[in-house]
Amino acid sequence: MVAENRAFAAGDHVAPADKAFTINFENKDAGIPHNISIRDGGASGPALWTGEIFPGVASRVYQVTPLKAATYTFICDVHPTMTGTLVVK
């Protein structure tokens, strides 16, 4: 996943159900902090998993705990209008 210009890059984000997985997250916004927080029930729903906030330009490999099959919203906790969709199947 990529954050650039205070937005997540569009595209399909798919993960396996009931198994731990990794997210390779690249923050291309120089000096601007971002992270990924996977939410249940939309952007304002409870966080199921939250990654470290870090400034760009930098990358992190997040280790995500298993999630049940569903479609989730992910946001940046620093910029909650930055959203995307994660399909777990």
Domains of the chain, by residue range, sit at: 2-88
* CA angle 38–39–44, rounded 5-degree value: 135
pLDDT(11) > 90 = no
* Average pLDDT rounded to a whole number, residues 52-71: 98
* Average pLDDT rounded to a whole number, residues 38-62: 97
What pLDDT score was predicted for residue 37? 98
What pLDDT score was predicted for residue 58? 98
CATH code for the part of the protein at 2-88: 2.60.40.420
CB-side neighbour CA atoms (13 Å) of 64: 29
Cβ atoms 18, 89 nearer than 8 A: no
